Every structure is written in C-alpha cells, then in structure tokens.
Structure 1
C-alpha cells in the first residue's frame, strides 16, 4: 500500500511541475506580445464610464491631440507642420459647427490619415445641462462630422474638458469614450512659444495624452509644434493615436 501511495504521489508531483512550467511559458509569451506591436486595432468599446487621461506603459509612446472649435488661420499651418515633420499619427477633436463650415480643412485632416473625434457642438459645459441636451448636442456634432468626413466618431473630448459622473454615464450610454489629457500644453493661454515647448517636453511621459489646439485663438501653437515634435523624438518617443494608445495597454480613467 505504501509503495502504491508513493508512486501516486510522485506522479502527481510530476504533473504539478509540468503544469507550473506551462503556466510560466504562457506568461512569457503573453508579456512578449504586448504593446510594442501596434498593428490592426480593435474598435474601442468603452467598458465603463470614465474619462481617460493616460495609459500605463513603460514604452515611450504619446498621443498628440488637437482641439478645433473655431477659425481657419491656425488649422492649415498645424497640418503643414505635421506633414513636414512626417508625423502621421495624431488625434483631432472637431466641433460640429466648425466642421460644417470648414469642410476643406476637415476633409484634409481625414485625407492625411489622422484620427477624428468629437468636440461636441456648442462650446458649453455639459455638466450644466440635461441629458436630453447632451444627447442632442452630441448627435448634432456626430452628424456634421460624418457628413463631411465619413467618420462616425466614438471618441469625445467635452468642451472645456468639463464633465461629471452623470455626463460620463450619458456619453458612455451613447457609445462614446471620453478623452481628457495628462499634459496640457497651455497653448490656449498663449504664454509664449518657449513656455509651451518647455512645458510639454518637461511633462510628457510614457502613455501620455498631450493637449494642444488648432483653433485661431491659439496663436503660438504653429511655432511651438515643430520644436515639440523634434524634442519628443529626441527623447525617444513615438507618436500614436488615442485609439492606438488605448488599444495597446490599460487606460487610466477617472469618473469625476
């Protein structure tokens, strides 16, 4: 009897060791198939209502984003800079009225391959209005952007970055992922080209979402942008779209 028990125990021990080895092997394969390989990307379906500010990753990737709500003097030159620098990955958040009245620029953003998200319709704080108003505004912007570019937006950056838990839940119910930022260039304050450049280069980090603007009120963005791109590249950063950033790793979100 003791001989049989000893044999069974040894067999069980071998099975356990093999199982542990297999788990370790699968873990290594999983870790090596991570964020570094950005290929075909899945459609983003938000899993919970929260605003995304950044992602956790050790890889030096950042998402450069631009909001446009009005004007025609700044957007074109911003696109010229991106083209000249060979930067093909960026995300533009467009307002509905601006898209409807600046169709050529909006179409150029699309033709250059940049990602397009919604910046709402009227530039008003969502948290101050009802869910019905939000629904109407988001759908109006969505229709305008689709009519001009053929893009059905699924990412949204609310006007002024304003939201609360109710707003996030409403946007989530409409199939939208709310995008914020972790580094604000402050180009909307026109603090000086050097100040914009130094702020972005000092604060950018792996997995960062960087906020910039291509509206006419931001008069120093065009001059600061080439230095920002060159500076980030010199630090070893690669540029990705917001969707690529989210799809590649775990996004960090906040509910309020």
Structure 2
C-alpha cells in the first residue's frame, strides 16, 4: 500500500509540474497575443515601431482617417485652437484623392502625414505584388498633394507580417504601430477614451486615435486628453520626431 502511494505521489508531482508549465506557456501566449502590434526582426532587418524612447515626456498623438470629412475638420480645428501642430495623420491614398483640401489643411496646420496604404485593405490578405502596388500608389497620391514622399506606413487594420515589413523597407517606409489604443472607433464614451490614454501615458508613447466619420467621441475626448497631458508636463511630437535617433521598442518576429 505504501509503495502504491509513493508511485502515485511521484505521478502527481509530475502532473503538477506539467500543469504549472502549461499555465505559464498559456500566459505567455496570451500576453504576446495582446501585443501583436509590436514587432522587429533580427538585427539589421526591417522593423516596426510602436514606441519611442522613454526619456523625457514626449508623446505622439496619431489619427487614422480613411473616409468622411466631418470628424477630421472638428479635430483639426480643435488642435488649431489648442496650438497643437505636431501630431501625425495616417491617411489612405483613396481618401486623400477625394479630399485634397483636407490634406492641404493638415499640412498647412503643421501636422505630419503618414500612409495607410491606398485602398485600406489588410496587407496580410494580399499578394506581394498587390502590397507593393498599394503602398506605391498611396505614396504617389500623397506626394502629389503635399510635395513630400511618405516615409511612415501604418498597415490597414494594423495587420502585417515579415513579408510586409520587408516590402515596406524596400519602398523606404517604416511601419508604425502604437503603444496606447483607447479603442475610440468603438465609441466607448469620451470619458473612457480619455481615461485609457491618461492612465497608460508614458514618455515615448504613440497613441492610436481615429478621425473617420464613424468615430463620434474622439473629438470630445481630445480636449481633456490635451489638457491632462499638458498638466502632467507632457509635450507633443510627430511620430517622425519621436522615433528619430532614439532607442525605439519592438519585438522579434520570425
């Protein structure tokens, strides 16, 4: 009988070790799944940026826009009233063609422009040639309107892989993700959007916001976000300025 319990005790210990190992493996997988926007490849290979250097208290507000014109005018007007002229707008080429006057307003107000591609279709669903064509076409459209080539690319829906990274680099684009996402596109309430940004803010952060017409609460949250960040002594920066010559954060992708 004692021998039986010794054998079972050993087995129970083995099962417990396996269970603990499985738990931590699942925990790691869960954490990584929540940070799919953070990527790099091996040293010297293409990378995607999600956060700038933490030194100082600079933060980059970014706005994605791919359709509509009402919300972006409201946001641009608010930023102008608040004397903020160093945010980054990621725009789709197709939208830019329809709204050249707004593109002009973005540039005139001093903001940086990045690319969302041309048609806003997930690159992970496209063939290599289609990805190259979409990035190139968007760059041609935006450069024709602004006089400057795009260098920053936020893939549609934030979806990319190593192939997209390599294609983007060959086309002289750096993929930019984000470190704070208040999910403003879900319209969770202006207070919730503000709370998420303020509670998570750190130096070097890149904040994902939207300026398409379906996003109805970002403008209402933006004033409080600006006020609270400034009261906490943050200053605002374009993505280009934030990541220039700094130690940016990324995560390995194979």
What TM-score, normalized by structure 1, do the two folds share? 0.80
Aligned to 2:236, the other structure's residue is in SS state strand
Trace 1:36-185 onto structure 2 (pairs within 5 A): 48-185=45-182
Q: Which runs of 4+ in 1 moved over 3 A?
A: none
User: Following TM superposition, by how much is the alpha carbon of 1:58 offset from its aligned partner in structure 2, in angstroms?
Assistant: 2.4
Whether 1:197 and 2:194 are equivalent positions in the alignment is yes
Structure 2 counterpart of 1:218 = 215
CA offset digits 1:180-228 (Å, max 9, x no partner):
0000121111000100000000011110000001110100011111110
Which of the pair has more CA radius of gyration?
1
Aligned length: 210
- Higher share of residues assigned strand: 1
Partner of 2:25: none
Unaligned runs of 5+ in 2: 1-43
* Superposition CA RMSD, Å: 1.1
Partner SS, residue 151 of structure 1: coil
1:206 equivalent in alignment to 2:203 = yes
1:160, 1:151 → 2: CA distance?
Answer: 24
Quote the offset at 1:255 in angstroms: 4.8
Aligned mates of 1:116, 1:80 — CA distance in 2: 17
Structure 1 regions of 5+ residues with no counterpart?
1-46
TM-score (norm. length: structure 2) = 0.80
